């Protein structure tokens, strides 16, 4: 091989007289170029170079001529913006071809000239649906209640704080929506049973259940009492079981249902002094997956939302401490606390028909925290 290379290497840099000894060099194919034949490929730039290892290639049998293939131009071809004008993928690489005129479907995938694009998120249509939201008196629960009400849903507000629930109810009414207040401890089995009876009598069947109630006690594990440990697990995990057991039957047989459970980035990662909270949220994530499989054939989806650092009452201890707040923000790639309205928008999407194929998973919304 070395002697063969040394023998023919000088000729490698000279163009042979016979074009049949050329090779067509590509990343994925190597074949002889035919004399006087135009070779067309859609995406790969080609270069004809001589073959140094086969100097007698001109004496070999030449492959039969192959007619250039006509490129297939699909209406679903990606679109490129080239020098301020719009053109299709095929037109870019085959300027001699005449691609078909843009279709309505094509226009969906490109911006029209001189048209300002809106960044607003369209509201889902939840008219005629009733959504029950636990922990709805503040924070993320309140944000989801406002978002779903704006989309047309009737809201059942559930919490232990009647006065704060009434304030949320008033705000929803001021925006043209309707909400009823139900005071209950969703970690208590008897109260959940009574809640189901009251909601059914007042609003009828529930199509959307959002398990949002949750607490956090920040301590080292060895400092927890059993009552403290159980209070976190009962509120964050057992309440999901109790509420789902009573309200999922409302959705069965209707072809539609949505169960959303608030998990957390602490179900994926953790921090010191989060043992009870992380344990409870990781367990909720497991419950989501199992329940989703049980209900998948009935048009009922079960999903989680895993918020990262949001500016809610639960995080006031960090937000109000300048040193801790600075350290915390330094770990958020987005560099800021999340807005509760983003959680409301995501919940609205998951309740819409557009999310009917999303089930058994959870969606991280954390400003890039878990991507580090």
pLDDT tens for residues 136-174? 999 999 999 999 999 999 999 999 999 999 999 999 999
In the prediction, which pLDDT does 93 show? 41
Residue ranges for the chain with pLDDT beneath 50:
4-6, 9-49, 52-53, 55-59, 71-97, 99-119
SS (H, E, C) 139-168: HHHHHHHHHHHHCCCEEEEEECCHHHHHHH
Instruction: Please indicate whether residue 277 is annotated as part of the active site.
Output: yes
pLDDT tens-place string over residues 285-321: 999 999 999 999 999 999 999 999 898 887 888 889 9
Contacts (Cβ under 8 Å, ≥6 apart) of 89: 77, 78, 79, 80
In the prediction, which pLDDT does 318 show? 86
The CATH superfamily of 130-371 is: NAD(P)-binding Rossmann-like Domain (3.40.50.720)
Helices (H), 135-268: 139-150, 162-174, 189-203, 226-233, 239-251
For the whole prediction, is pTM greater than 0.85? no
**Domain boundaries in the chain?**
1-63+77-101, 130-371
Distance CA 247, CA 200 (A): 10
In the prediction, which pLDDT does 136 show? 97
Contact of 304 with 362, CB cutoff 8 Å = yes
In the prediction, which pLDDT does 134 show? 98
From the candidates 22, 241, 277, 369, which is the catalytic residue? 277
CA atoms within 13 A on the CB side of 299: 12
In the prediction, which pLDDT does 168 show? 98
């Amino acid at each position: 091989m070395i002697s063969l290379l040394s023998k023919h290497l000088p000729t490698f840099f000279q163009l042979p007289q016979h074009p049949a000894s050329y090779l067509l060099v590509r990343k994925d194919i190597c074949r002889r170029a035919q004399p006087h034949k135009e070779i067309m490929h859609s995406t790969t730039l080609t270069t004809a170079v001589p073959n140094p290892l086969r100097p007698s290639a001109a004496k070999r049998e030449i492959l039969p001529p192959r007619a250039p293939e006509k490129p297939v131009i699909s209406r679903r071809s990606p679109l490129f913006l080239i020098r301020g004008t719009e053109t299709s993928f095929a037109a870019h690489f085959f300027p001699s071809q005449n691609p078909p005129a843009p279709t309505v479907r094509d226009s969906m995938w490109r911006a029209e000239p001189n048209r300002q694009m809106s960044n607003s998120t369209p509201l889902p249509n939840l008219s005629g649906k009733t959504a029950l939201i636990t922990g709805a008196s503040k924070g993320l629960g309140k944000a989801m209640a406002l978002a779903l009400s704006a989309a047309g849903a009737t809201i059942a507000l559930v919490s232990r704080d009647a006065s704060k629930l009434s304030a949320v109810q008033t705000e929803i009414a001021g925006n043209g929506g309707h909400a009823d207040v139900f005071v209950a401890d969703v970690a208590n089995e008897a109260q959940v049973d009574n809640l189901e009876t009251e909601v059914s009598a007042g609003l009828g069947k529930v199509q959307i259940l959002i398990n949002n109630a949750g607490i956090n006690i920040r301590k080292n594990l060895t400092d927890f009492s059993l009552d403290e440990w159980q209070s976190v697990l009962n509120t964050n995990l057992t309440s999901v079981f109790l509420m789902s057991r009573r309200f999922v039957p409302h959705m069965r047989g209707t072809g539609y249902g949505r169960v959303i459970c608030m998990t957390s980035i602490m179900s994926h990662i953790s921090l010191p002094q989060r043992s009870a909270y992380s344990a409870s949220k990781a367990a909720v994530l497991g419950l989501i997956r199992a329940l989703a499989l049980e209900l998948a054939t009935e048009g009922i989806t079960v999903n989680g939302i895993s918020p990262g650092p949001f500016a809610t009452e639960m995080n006031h201890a960090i937000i109000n401490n300048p040193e801790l707040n600075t350290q915390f923000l330094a770990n958020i790639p987005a560099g800021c606390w999340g807005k509760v309205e983003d959680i409301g928008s995501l919940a609205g999407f998951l309740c819409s028909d557009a999310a009917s194929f999303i089930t058994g998973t959870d969606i991280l919304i954390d400003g890039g925290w878990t991507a580090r």
